[in-house]
A and B are shown apart, each in its own frame.
Chain A
Amino acid sequence: MKNANTVVPSYKRKNEWRAYTYFFWIVPFLILSFLFSYFPLHGWIYSFFDYKPPRSLSQCEFVGLQWFTMLFTNKTQLSQLFQVMKNTFAMSLLNIAASFIPVVFAIFLNEIKCKWYRAFVQTFTTMPNFISWVLVYSVAFSLFSSGGMVNSILQQLGIIAEPLKFLDSDSHTYIWMLMWNVWKTLGWGAIVYLASIAGIDQEQYEAASIDGANRFQIMRNITLPALMPTFFIMLMLSIANFLNNGLDQYYVFQNAFNKEHIQVLDLYVYNIGMTGSSYSLATAISMLKSIVSVVLLTIVNVVSKRVRGETII
């Protein structure tokens, strides 16, 4: 102990010692946290080099801001990035626009008084949330591929002669992606709201129905306002994650036909980094993305603090 020769009451010394041993026990986990969350940030320097994988970084040429300037001046690069940003914005905006659906789902499910039916609906509509995107794709393939269920039924009924291309075509890609996402997450997303509804004071409902309010007035004036705080948090979180569409969904549905409209930012980074041309360019893009995301999160946090007096993080 450093200050062992100064006079310290023994209980205090014991406490101090304990403070360090407690810390000591969590050090291994802090190291893991550092290793897989903070340490990778050093990889951002790759965006200032022309990194060619087999070689080490020191053997690669330092190019400064070349990748960043290329992103915004090179014409083909710029138009590609523009398309990717368009996709990212479209998917994020559509998903945000669809975020009211779980609210409606919860409000109307709450109107069903039959308990077992509610439990039944809730159990089975939340299930898709727990299967992987690969499986969703497998389902999509079974139902909508050219030999899939929908096409064979339509052909058997003689409505179409040639199979419709749902998956390997570029039409309505945004809507399809949105539909799959809604299918997967709707039931699960509604659970939070159902719980909030369960927490509403029943007297409010009784008072309203005595005053002669009809079902829809009650929904609009009592249930909906009670759900708004939760909705607000969810909205803020999805705004903070505006650029993070994730790779999972879009990677599995991607193919040569729909590539133009399905490439969101995360997928684009993967495609040019891991399979394609340049580690460095991909790093540069994902670095910009991370910075914008942190800025968005900060803004959202400030807004949240202003509006409800509480931060999100």
Chain B
Amino acid sequence: MKEFRLKKREKNNSSDTAFHIINILLFGIFTIICIYPFYYLIINTISANDLSAGGEINLIPQGIHFENYINLLQIKGLGTAALVSFGKMIIGTTLTVIASAFLGFMFTQERMWKRRFWYRFVVITMYFNAGIIPLFITMKNLHLTNNFLVYVIPTIVQPFNIILVKAYVDSLPKALQEAAEMDGAGIFKIFCKIILPTCTPILATVAIFSAVNQWNSYQDTLLYITDQKLYSLQYLLYTYINQANSLAAMIKNSSGGAISAAVLATKQTGTSIRMTVSVIVVLPILCIYPMFQRYFVKGIMIGSVKG
């Protein structure tokens, strides 16, 4: 009897182990599927360009060189696009963080005239939109098309961010503000001296979300910008990808003659340009993401409770 039970447990254990191994393996595979594309892009940009264009670099970089990144500086328009992208990320994020903090705080002030109505007025805009054509016409009438401001002004008031901040301020003890009021502090002083410092965690969440959104958005360029000087990096990358085929074909045709291998290895191809720009575009995200992961998680948690 004893022996039998022992055997049974052993059998359980082995099926248990099998389960764990399969489970760990499957998650490992999916994680690799998530990482590998980025790795693939990076190793191809630092490998010899003739090899990478031939699709021969899959696991290990070969013929390492950094010409691609140096040569990028010569590509016209890339510098301005990077500037535009950084500019809209920094300015847009700053503006929306300030606005979300202030509005989120103000909407907790019960003494405000028709507070509930105005709160709804702002939040309800999450659930409808006029559609891209009316939006385009509106932007045009406001002279925002082909204007840098179109990147940063319409994104200032973000209902979702306001909900996040408001929920956070609501959870703070009321006594904090009351004590300050006793001491004669005005609403702005309370906002700057008390609310802003205590709300840093949630404001960091808001900041990181809107920074990522600003960096990643290309629809704003697509819809409202035709002036190449105002292209964002994302949009530029999109145009590069679409040109890559013809670009690569052109380069192939012209390189029929005898060109030394050394030149070929660092010669720009459509593939190398496309991949290098991709890495430039994804690098900021890859760098900041691990550091700020907990803010992302915090953001979605509060959002899912409240939204």
Task: Give the B-binding residues of A (Cβ under 8 A).
Answer: 15, 18-23, 25-26, 29-30, 32-33, 35-44, 46, 108-109, 111-112, 114, 117, 120-121, 123-128, 130-135, 137-139, 141-143, 145, 147-149, 151-153, 183, 186-188, 191-192, 195, 215, 230, 233, 247-248, 251-252, 266, 269-270, 273-274, 279, 282-283, 286-287, 289-290, 293-294, 297, 313
Contact = CB atoms under 8 A, between A and B. Distances in A.
Contacts of B125: 33, 37-38
Given A126-B293, A134-B238, A33 B121 contact: yes
B297 to A, nearest CB: 6
A183 B32 CA distance: 11
A32 B142 CA distance: 12
B134 A297 contact: no
B100 to A, nearest CB: 10
Interface in B235-271: 235, 237-238, 241, 244-245, 248, 271
A143 B33 CA distance: 12
Interface size class of B (residues with CB under 8 A): 35 or more
A187 B34 contact: yes
Given A18-B111, A26-B102, A139-B278, 5 more contacts: A44-B130, A142-B37, A142-B278, A186-B30, A230-B304
Interface of B: 16, 19-20, 23-24, 26-28, 30-31, 33-35, 37-38, 40-41, 44, 53-56, 58, 99, 102-103, 106-107, 109, 111-114, 118, 121-122, 124-125, 127-138, 142, 153-154, 156-157, 187, 212, 215-219, 222-223, 234-235, 237-238, 241, 244-245, 248, 271, 274-275, 278, 281-282, 285-286, 289-290, 293, 296-297, 300-301, 304
Given A29-B99, A135-B278, A147-B248, A37 B118 contact: no
B130 A41 contact: yes
A23 B114 contact: yes
A127 B286 contact: yes
Given A29-B99, A138-B237, A293 B128 contact: yes
A43 B222 contact: no
B133 A279 contact: yes
Nearest to A272: B133
A109 B35 CA distance: 18
B122 A33 contact: yes
18 contacts: A15-B111, A22-B113, A25-B187, A30-B122, A33-B157, A36-B157, A40-B134, A46-B134, A46-B137, A108-B26, A112-B27, A131-B285, A143-B37, A147-B53, A148-B55, A149-B55, A152-B55, A191-B297
A30 B121 contact: yes
Contact of A23 (B30, B53, B118, B238): B118
Nearest to A15: B111
Nearest to B99: A29
A192 B300 contact: yes
Contacts of A153: 55, 58
B27 A108 contact: yes
Given A192-B300, A313-B127, A22 B56 contact: no
Given A15-B111, A270-B132, A132 B234 contact: yes
Contacts of B245: 145
A37 B128 CA distance: 8
B27 A43 contact: no
B184 to A, nearest CB: 13
Contacts of A125: 30-31, 34
9 closest Cβ contacts across the A-B interface?
Answer: A43-B134, A152-B55, A286-B131, A132-B216, A40-B130, A37-B125, A22-B112, A23-B113, A19-B113
B273 to A, nearest CB: 11
A26 B157 CA distance: 11
A191 B127 contact: no
Given A30-B118, A32-B156, A130-B216, A41 B134 contact: yes
A198 to B, nearest CB: 10
Nearest to A187: B34
A294 B234 contact: no
A53 B189 CA distance: 49
Contacts of B124: 313
A40 B138 contact: yes
Given A22-B113, A134-B234, A143 B40 contact: yes
Contacts of B20: 111-112
A274 B282 contact: no
A252 B238 contact: yes
A286 B154 CA distance: 20
Contact of B128 (A19, A142, A290): A290
Contacts of A294: 127-128
Which of B38, B121, B241 has the most CB atoms of chain A within a 10 A radius of its CB?
B241
B16 to A, nearest CB: 8
A46 B112 contact: no
A256 to B, nearest CB: 11
